[in-house]
Chains A and B, each alone.
Chain A
Amino acid sequence: MKICPSCSHKNREGSLFCEECGQNLLSNINAAVKTKQIDLDSDAVSFSSWGSAKFDLDTVVVLHIRDSQEPLRISPNNRVILGRYDGGNAPKPDLDLTPHGALEKGVSRIHAAIYRTDDTLTLIDMGSSNGTLLNGHRLVRDQPRVLRDGDEIRLGKLVAHIYFKQNSDNP
């Protein structure tokens, strides 16, 4: 058995490329991923804007929604569905964005979800009508993307920033 280092698909012995994702199974994955050398004195270091992806037990998410006064605090357990509740038959999302103008901004009833896996958070589009953007990149439906401290997410026209806060920081 050959386990793909890229997608962990179990390939039969003798396979040279992963049947699942096309990864070359002969090459060492660590050698394949080249680390970019950056000059410590250059601006590139201080310019980095993306925060940590590490999300441990004591961390909570603070969601700053643009044009809203109060930031929302969520401590994601397994899964938090973001959406809009209109009192109809549709199930109520875990985080109802109606008070933040969800309807006018084109948020779907079941728009996106934040999943917690080990010590990272991922954002996934649940098949929304107007799409979900993470730092300006449109998410492909059902494909999870890792969330980092300081990310901007966009549900339809509703813009929010994600911050990771230690639970003890702000009791």
Chain B
Amino acid sequence: MNIDIDPYAVLGVHVDATSDEIKKAYRQAARRLHPDLNKHNPGAVAQFQDITVAYELLIDPAQRSQYDAKARLLYPEDRLVFMLRTIANKRTVALLDEPQIIFLLSEIIPDPRAEMQQNGDARLNLTLVLDCSKSMKDTRMDKVKIAAHQIIDQLKPGDILSVVSFNDTADVVIPATTMMTTDKASLKARISMIHPFGSTEIFQGLSAGIAQNRTFMAPRLVNHVILITDGRTYGDEQRCIELAREVGKEGITISAMGLGEDWNDQFLDNMTAITGGRTEYISSPGTVVRFLNEYVRNLSNVFAERLQLSVAPDPDIRLESAFKLAPSPQPLSIDGPTIPLGNLQGHRSVSVLLQLEIPAKLTLGFRSLARIVAVGDILANKNTKCMGLNDISFEVMDNPPMEETPPNILEALGKLSLYRLQERAQEALERGDIREATQRLEFLSTRLLELGEPELAQQARREAQRVAMTNQLSEKGRKDLKYQTRSLLLEASMETKS
């Protein structure tokens, strides 16, 4: 019996539902989610498996009563939960001969009790993977060491730490150890001994770090690997991605911090996103200390881990893109059956903006749009699994009334369009289309100026000039534009929150 899912919630029926009601709910959902109709839609295929498991369980009276007895223990009344709430930018669409776009904003909201109960309570299984290649010499290495020292200071008894340094080989500086209050000085001393030389081979460090993390990995821990690097790795990127895919399934999150301008942001973005982690750009070594400290402090406020969103649009509707707005803005990959979202903190929601295409020539009336499911592990619960489900529908009308777009969706989309401009400028440049690249950067500059971001606008303009003269962006300018247009989205989500 699969106890990972709540069969009543999956089918959207009450615990007292009759078997006729269960049959009806299953048939309705299966019609929409059937794999034959959803070859392009991995989210639906995954959800179809879930409803089938749930149906087979509930339709058999013996299995159902066995489950009900168990469920009282599995899901006590006072267990903590998270909520999933999805709103669309409109409830009605016009009947048209052309395809249209609709936006959904899904928010995963922590239990309001979590904030009081949890104050840095989550137990960490933390691994630091530190680049100690020659380029890290002096300031960068020193700052990273200071940051690591401060992390050791803030870890609680019971947290688990391991530290790996790497260049072209990996070296386990601190094997995975449970923290005690007494031995912190000797751990710090070991970090101080790290000496930078050699080149950067990320796979070496990453696989050694993951091996350390795995020794203590557990569902009720925050299993997190932080990679800090300042360079490009050559030839082993694919292996890193495969490794990330593997550990993402196991429940380890990888985050990365890139120092300076020379690291490969696309690679690190991809690799961390697979595991639900994120990549940060740290332009000056001075900020790494504060940044890492804050990052680790946030980890200990984690309320739920391994959050996943599964989006199953109706067979004729297509999911076009997904973007995480908060707490850390980043593009999400929609190729897999579920979208990894990382962790949920006790005091901040996770929100995701989805863009869907509705086909031309609909029929009038109400209809369903998509089914969205969020699952995750709530660390404080005995049975950690928690799930939220939203069924979204809309109405097709001849003359739909004017609807006000929800301001948070509008604001997020406005800022997302800036990020997309930057992205498309970059794509044009990769194709060698200088004209399009400069044009996009100029548009970006104009919009940034309108938005009251004169400095970033200037930078976009300078990069447009640079592209025109030299056919390429500066590494710094490219990263600044990418990560700063991203952080504009963060401001957007903060504003709507307050």
A binds B: yes
Residues of A bordering B, CB below 8 Å = 1, 7, 12-24, 26, 125, 131, 138, 140-143
B405 within 8 A of A: yes
Which of A15, A21, A24, A141 sits near B468, CB closer than 8 Å? A141
Q: Are B435 and A142 in contact (CB under 8 A)?
A: yes
Query: B465-498: which have CB < 8 Å to A?
Result: 465, 467-469
In the bound complex, CA of A110 to CA of B447 (Å): 32
Contacts of A21 in B (CB 8 A): 421, 443, 446-447
- Point out which of A12, A16, A19 has the most chain B C-beta atoms below 10 A from its C-beta: A16
B410 within 8 A of A: yes
In the bound complex, CA of A13 to CA of B138 (Å): 55
- Point out which of B99, B358, B443 has the most chain A C-beta atoms below 10 A from its C-beta: B443
Contacts of A18 in B (CB 8 A): 417
Which of A12, A19, A142, A143 sits near B100, CB closer than 8 Å? A12
A132 to chain B, nearest CB (A): 10
Q: Are A12 and B435 in contact (CB under 8 A)?
A: no
Query: B411-450: which have CB < 8 Å to A?
Result: 413-414, 416-418, 420-421, 434-435, 438-439, 442-444, 446-447
Q: Are A16 and B410 in contact (CB under 8 A)?
A: yes
Contacts of B444 in A (CB 8 A): 22
Q: Are A143 and B439 in contact (CB under 8 A)?
A: yes
0/1 per residue, B101-125, Cβ < 8 Å to A? Answer: 1110000000000000000000000
Q: Are A22 and B421 in contact (CB under 8 A)?
A: yes
B357 within 8 A of A: yes
Q: Are B101 and A15 in contact (CB under 8 A)?
A: yes
Which residue from chain B places its CB closest to the CB of A24 in the assembled complex?
B414
B98 within 8 A of A: yes
Q: Are A131 and B469 in contact (CB under 8 A)?
A: yes
Contacts of A125 in B (CB 8 A): 468
Which residue from chain B places its CB closest to the CB of A131 in the assembled complex?
B469
Which of B96, B102, B417 sits near A17, CB closer than 8 Å? B417
Q: Indicate whether A14 sits within 8 Å of B465 (C-beta atoms), given known contacts A140-B438, A142-B435.
A: no
In the bound complex, CA of A12 to CA of B102 (Å): 10
Q: Are A12 and B357 in contact (CB under 8 A)?
A: yes
In the bound complex, CA of A22 to CA of B442 (Å): 11
B360 to chain A, nearest CB (A): 9
A28 to chain B, nearest CB (A): 14
Which residue from chain A places its CB closest to the CB of B435 in the assembled complex?
A142
Residues of B bordering A, CB below 8 Å = 89-90, 93-94, 96, 98-103, 357-358, 405, 410, 413-414, 416-418, 420-421, 434-435, 438-439, 442-444, 446-447, 464-465, 467-469
Q: Indicate whether A22 sits within 8 Å of B99 (C-beta atoms), given known contacts A16-B405, A141-B434.
A: no
Q: Are B93 and A14 in contact (CB under 8 A)?
A: yes
Q: Are B468 and A142 in contact (CB under 8 A)?
A: yes
In the bound complex, CA of A60 to CA of B285 (Å): 59
B414 to chain A, nearest CB (A): 6
Q: Are A22 and B447 in contact (CB under 8 A)?
A: yes
Q: Are B93 and A16 in contact (CB under 8 A)?
A: no
Contacts of A141 in B (CB 8 A): 434-435, 438, 468-469
- Point out which of B439, B446, B468 has the most chain A C-beta atoms below 10 A from its C-beta: B468
- Point out which of A1, A7, A140, A143 has the most chain B C-beta atoms below 10 A from its C-beta: A140
In the bound complex, CA of A21 to CA of B469 (Å): 22
Q: Are B442 and A140 in contact (CB under 8 A)?
A: yes
In the bound complex, CA of A71 to CA of B438 (Å): 34
Q: Are A138 and B100 in contact (CB under 8 A)?
A: no
In the bound complex, CA of A139 to CA of B416 (Å): 28
Which of B89, B102, B443, B464 sits near A22, CB closer than 8 Å? B443
Contacts of A26 in B (CB 8 A): 405, 410
Q: Are A140 and B468 in contact (CB under 8 A)?
A: yes
In the bound complex, CA of A21 to CA of B96 (Å): 25
Which of A12, A20, A138, A140 sits near B101, CB closer than 8 Å? A12
A27 to chain B, nearest CB (A): 10
A129 to chain B, nearest CB (A): 9
- What are the 8 A-B residue pairs with the smallest beta carbon separation, nearest first? A141-B468, A14-B101, A14-B100, A17-B417, A13-B100, A21-B443, A142-B435, A22-B417
B471 to chain A, nearest CB (A): 9
In the bound complex, CA of A142 to CA of B465 (Å): 11
A35 to chain B, nearest CB (A): 16
Contacts of A16 in B (CB 8 A): 89, 103, 405, 410, 413-414
Which residue from chain B places its CB closest to the CB of A141 in the assembled complex?
B468
B195 to chain A, nearest CB (A): 47
Can you name 18 A-B residue pairings with CB atoms under 8 Å?
A1-B98, A13-B96, A13-B100, A14-B90, A14-B93, A14-B102, A14-B358, A17-B414, A17-B416, A20-B443, A22-B414, A22-B418, A23-B447, A24-B414, A26-B405, A26-B410, A131-B469, A142-B438
Contacts of B90 in A (CB 8 A): 14
Q: Indicate whether A138 sits within 8 Å of B465 (C-beta atoms), given known contacts A1-B98, A14-B101, A22-B444.
A: yes
